[in-house]
Amino acid sequence: MDTLYEIKTRVITFIEKNDMYVKPVARFILLLMAYLMVYMNLSYFPKLHNIFIPLILAVACAILPMGLSAVILGFYIAANLYGLGLEVMGVFLILMILAYLLYFRFSRENGSLVVLSPVLNFIGIPYTLPIATGLTTTPGASVSVLMGTIIFYFLKGIKANEEALLASEDALKTTKLHIAIEQVLVNKEMWLIIFAFFFTNVVVYVIRRLAIKEAWKIAIAAGGVIQLLIILIGKLVLGNPYGILALILGSIISVGLCFVFQFMVFDLDYQRIERVQFEDDNYYYYVRAVPKVLVAAKEKHVKTFNETKAKREEEVEREIARELDIDPKNLK
Amino acid sequence: MVNEEKVRLMTKLAVFEENKGKKTLPIGDYYRSDYISKNLLSGFIAGTFAYLILVAIWALHEGEELVQKLLALDFGHIIFMVIVFYGIFMVLYLTVCYLVGDAKYRRSVKSLKAYKKALKRLENM
């Protein structure tokens, strides 16, 4: 266990030291995967079939905010879908507009989840995301995971129907439109997954906030089992028993990944090196504020025998810490 | 002489302004009711637009059937249903808009209070 903690500390130190590079590189890797997926599977527009286009776009988007990168990726997909017909591209763009109108007006921070969700769906471990977002954010953020899932299933359906779409001539524009819309409206499996993901997310969120020992671990396990059961039963009810082995394997791997994620993130208040500039009457200040690195993971102790008293004590401690301008954790 | 404590406080303020403050500080310019009304108004426009798109998709999908229904003079019924669903959709959507706006405003007021307190402390230094 000690070596694990050591590795954790090293990783955290590394990330904090190289904060300036880690984020763009991580973004680049994620975007590159997404672009290559599109390039390999959805290259319907011959003029865009050039490996340098996804490469350049991935590099460029790595330094842009994630929300904007997701929009650019969306346009890249739309342009590729144009090769199948204006109608297919139109439906995809409408999906993007709906996503913006109904969700991204409120929260623009979760662009990475919209990209990550189809990528993980493609790899076969999308079951990680509802649990991981339940652990770290509020259920509202899961909406972006769901939107990514809708986009994935739409593209998957388009891919499955590519022959019909390519075969239908201009005279059958309505057929193309019909096929494209059908991928979203009548895709029962997609709605099943969406329901399972949302429900799992809420369950994980509720459990991990309970004041019980090992709340996070219980949340992950419960989330994993509930998710698997909903999808499994749903698949059987829908009469689509294919891919059950992949589902079970994917779920197990996802839960494992979530435990790793929990180990790395739990009780880690993500702080980064801040570079700020300001001035007062006498000086200009160029400050680099470096967060104190956590050396050993702190155990979470939950005392429930007298909650109000414990809360009051904690408040007093925090008050003192604020007055002294020190970390409240140092008082314990 | 550089006043260390002052630098510490100013750094914290600058970090806040750079990150959280970018979103929080502008919200502080509004009264609560104004902020939420603004959210509801933009939500109304966005929601209506989104609903129109959804109806258009549905109409395109139904295609011929819809034309037949319209021909069968079921026009009034269809319009009625579209309006009823519009009402339900908007009530749900605007409730979400209200809750999100309220939560955002409350959160920002909280951090604004702390921010102003720190500014005052800095002033007295």
- In this model, does residue A271 exceed pLDDT 70? no
Contacts of residue A218, Cβ cutoff 8 Å, sequence gap at least 6: A207, A212
- In this model, does residue A45 exceed pLDDT 90? no
CA angle A256, A126, A57 (to 5 degrees): 120
pLDDT value at residue A305: 59
- In this model, does residue B8 exceed pLDDT 70? yes
Residues of A with CB under 8 A from a CB of B: 91, 94, 97-98, 101-102, 105-106, 140, 174, 177-178, 181-182, 185, 274, 276-278, 280, 283, 285, 287, 289, 325
Quick one: average pLDDT of B62-68?
Answer: 72
- Judging contacts by C-beta atoms under 8 Å, the chain B residues touching residue A101 are 46-47, 49-50, 53
- Closest residue in chain B to residue A98, using alpha carbons only: B50
DSSP H or E segment with residue A287: strand A284-289
pLDDT value at residue A223: 93
- Closest residue in chain A to residue B39, using alpha carbons only: A106
Chain B, residues 34-63, CB within 8 A of chain A, namely 42-43, 46-47, 49-50, 53-54, 57-58, 60-61, 63
ipTM for the predicted complex comes to: 0.73
pLDDT band at A224 (very low <50, low <70, confident <90, very high): very high
pLDDT value at residue A298: 42
pLDDT value at residue A327: 66
CA–CA distance from A171 to each of A82, A177, B61 (Å)?
17, 12, 17
pLDDT value at residue A299: 43
Q: What is the pTM of this model?
A: 0.77
pLDDT in tens, A281-307: 778 888 877 765 544 444 445 555 565
Say how far apart CA A71 and CA A51 lie, in whole Å.
20
pLDDT in tens, A313-330: 777 777 777 766 666 665
- In this model, does residue A167 exceed pLDDT 80? no
A274 and B46 within 8 Å at the Cβ level: the answer is no
Every domain of chain B and the residues it spans: 4-124
pLDDT in tens, A168-183: 665 566 677 778 888 8
Q: Comparing C-alpha atoms, which of B93, B112, B22, B101 is closest to residue B54?
A: B93
**B103 Cβ under 8 Å from any chain A Cβ:** no
Amino acid at A315: E
Say how far apart CA A296 and CA A293 lie, in whole Å.
9
- The nearest CA of chain B is from the CA of A296 a distance in Å of 25
pLDDT in tens, A82-124: 888 888 888 899 888 988 888 877 777 777 888 888 898 888 8
- The nearest CA of chain A is from the CA of B37 a distance in Å of 15
Percent of chain A with pLDDT over 90: 20
- In this model, does residue A24 exceed pLDDT 70? yes
